C-alpha cells in the first residue's frame, strides 16, 4: 500500500498527511474548499521546516515529502487510493455522505477508514455496501507527536481490513491498540470523557479550582496534561459533542456534560482556539 487519501484538511487530516508523506506515501488531501487545503499545506511545510532546523530531517527529504502531498477539492480524485482516511467533523450524516461516495468510487481492496473519536464504526459503515472494509483509525493530536493509533472494529469489519489498517499505521510510525467491540467512545475517548466530565463537575461545584484539578492529575497520576487543559486544547465544543455521543449510545449519566460546559460552548469559550476556556490564552 503506497497511495493514501485523506478526506478533511483540518488539524487531524493535515497531521496524518504530514507523517504519511514523510514515511513515503503518496498522499491526496481533499477538502471542500481551497482555503483549508492551502492552510494545511502551509502548516505541513512549516512543521517540516522546524524538524529540518532540529537536524532530524534533511532538507531534500522534507522537500520530497511535501511534493508527495497533492491537494484537491474533487472527492472523485481519491478513487485509486489503497487507504482512505476520513477526518471530517463529527457528524454522522456528513460522514455517511462521504462514505457513500467512497463506496462507489474506490477499489474493492481499499481500506475505508474513519478517524472518528466517538461515533460508532458500525453506523458509519452502514452507509456502504462493504462494511467489512470499514475500520476506525483513531489518531491523536498532534499527529506528528502522538504515537498511538486506536484501531476500532465495526460489527462486520474483517480481520484482513484490521491487518491492513495496522500495517498502514505502523508504516507511518504509530503503535496500535485494537478495540474489538464497537462501544461508544471506544477505549480512549470513553476514558478521557469520563475524566473530563467529572473534573468539570468538581470545578463547577466549587470543590477545587481548574488549576488544582490539573495539578492533582499531573502530579498524582503522572498525566502530561490535566483534564481542564486537555479540554481547552481539544476544544470545549468538541469535548461536549464527544460526551453527548457517548452518553446517547450508552445512556450512562457520568458521560453527560455538566451545565457549565454547555454554557461555555454557547458563550463561545471554546478553549485555546477562541482564546478562553477554563484558562485565558492571551496573544
Asked whether residue 171 falls in the same domain as residue 200, the answer is no
- Rounded CA-CA distance 158/150 in Å is 16
In a domain, residue 283? The reply is no
In a domain, residue 279? The reply is no
Q: How does strand 3-7 pair with strand 134-139? A: unpaired
- Which one of 116, 150, 179 terminates a domain? 179
- Which one of 179, 202, 219 terminates a domain? 179
Asked whether residue 201 falls in the same domain as residue 165, the answer is no
Could you tell me the CATH number of the domain that includes residue 219? 1.10.1040.10
Asked whether residue 83 falls in the same domain as residue 29, the answer is yes
Asked whether residue 21 falls in the same domain as residue 123, the answer is yes
Asked whether residue 144 falls in the same domain as residue 205, the answer is no
In a domain, residue 44? The reply is yes
Per the structure, how many domains does the chain have? 2
Q: Which domain holds residue 37?
A: 3-179
- Rounded CA-CA distance 115/93 in Å is 15
Cell reading at 135 = 475500520
Residue labelled with grid coordinates 454554557: 263
Length of the chain: 283
- Which one of 129, 156, 179 terminates a domain? 179
- Rounded CA-CA distance 247/249 in Å is 5
Cβ(134)–Cβ(157) under 8 Å? yes
Asked whether residue 67 falls in the same domain as residue 28, the answer is yes
Asked whether residue 205 falls in the same domain as residue 125, the answer is no
Q: How do the pLDDT tens digits run along the chain, 283 residues long?
A: 899 999 999 999 999 999 999 999 999 999 999 999 999 999 999 999 999 999 999 999 999 999 999 999 999 999 999 999 999 998 899 999 999 999 999 999 999 999 998 789 999 999 999 999 999 999 998 899 999 999 999 999 999 999 999 999 999 999 999 999 988 889 999 999 999 999 999 999 999 999 999 999 999 999 999 999 999 998 999 999 989 989 998 999 999 999 999 999 999 999 999 999 999 998 6
Q: Which of 5, 160, 8, 24 is nearest to 79 (CA)?
A: 5
Could you tell me the CATH number of the domain that includes residue 64? 3.40.50.720
Asked whether residue 167 falls in the same domain as residue 243, the answer is no
In a domain, residue 237? The reply is yes
In a domain, residue 23? The reply is yes
In a domain, residue 145? The reply is yes
Asked whether residue 216 falls in the same domain as residue 133, the answer is no
Asked whether residue 114 falls in the same domain as residue 209, the answer is no
Residue labelled with grid coordinates 463506496: 103
Asked whether residue 38 falls in the same domain as residue 93, the answer is yes
In a domain, residue 278? The reply is no
Residue 143 has φ and ψ, to the nearest 5°, of -55, -40
Burial class from Cβ neighbours inside 10 Å (0-12, 13-18, 19+) for residue 178 reads middle
Q: Indicate the average pLDDT of the chain.
A: 96
Cβ(224)–Cβ(233) under 8 Å? no
In a domain, residue 126? The reply is yes
DSSP line for 206-224: TSS-HHHHHHHHHHHH--S
Alpha carbon separation from 93 to 135, 190, 226 (Å, rounded)? 17, 22, 33
Amino acid at each position: 500500500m503506497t497511495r493514501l487519501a485523506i478526506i478533511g484538511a483540518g488539524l487531524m487530516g493535515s497531521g496524518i498527511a504530514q507523517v504519511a508523506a514523510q514515511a513515503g506515501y503518496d498522499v491526496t488531501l481533499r477538502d471542500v474548499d481551497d482555503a483549508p487545503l492551502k492552510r494545511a499545506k502551509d502548516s505541513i511545510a512549516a512543521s517540516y521546516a522546524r524538524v529540518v532546523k532540529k537536524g532530524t530531517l534533511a532538507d531534500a527529504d522534507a522537500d520530497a515529502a511535501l511534493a508527495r502531498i497533492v491537494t484537491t477539492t474533487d472527492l472523485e480524485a481519491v478513487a485509486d487510493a489503497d487507504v482512505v482516511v476520513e477526518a471530517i467533523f463529527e457528524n454522522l450524516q456528513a460522514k455517511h455522505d462521504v462514505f457513500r461516495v467512497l463506496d462507489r468510487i474506490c477499489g474493492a481492496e481499499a481500506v475505508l477508514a474513519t478517524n472518528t473519536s466517538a461515533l460508532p464504526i458500525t453506523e458509519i459503515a452502514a452507509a456502504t455496501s462493504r462494511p467489512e472494509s470499514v475500520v476506525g483509525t483513531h489518531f491523536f493530536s498532534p499527529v506528528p507527536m502522538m504515537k498511538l493509533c486506536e484501531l476500532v472494529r465495526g460489527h462486520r469489519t474483517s480481520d484482513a481490513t484490521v491487518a491492513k489498517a495496522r500495517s498502514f499505521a505502523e508504516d507511518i510510525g504509530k503503535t496500535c491498540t485494537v478495540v474489538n467491540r464497537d462501544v461508544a467512545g471506544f477505549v480512549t475517548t470513553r476514558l478521557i470523557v469520563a475524566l473530563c466530565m467529572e473534573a468539570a463537575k468538581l470545578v463547577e461545584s466549587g470543590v477545587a479550582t481548574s488549576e488544582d484539578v490539573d495539578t492533582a492529575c499531573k502530579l498524582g497520576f503522572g498525566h502530561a496534561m490535566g483534564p481542564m487543559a486537555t479540554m481547552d486544547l481539544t476544544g470545549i465544543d468538541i469535548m461536549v459533542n464527544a460526551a453527548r455521543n457517548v452518553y446517547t449510545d450508552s445512556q450512562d449519566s457520568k458521560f453527560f456534560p455538566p451545565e457549565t460546559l454547555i454554557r461555555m460552548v454557547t458563550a463561545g469559550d471554546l478553549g485555546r482556539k477562541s482564546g478562553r476556556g477554563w484558562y485565558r490564552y492571551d496573544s
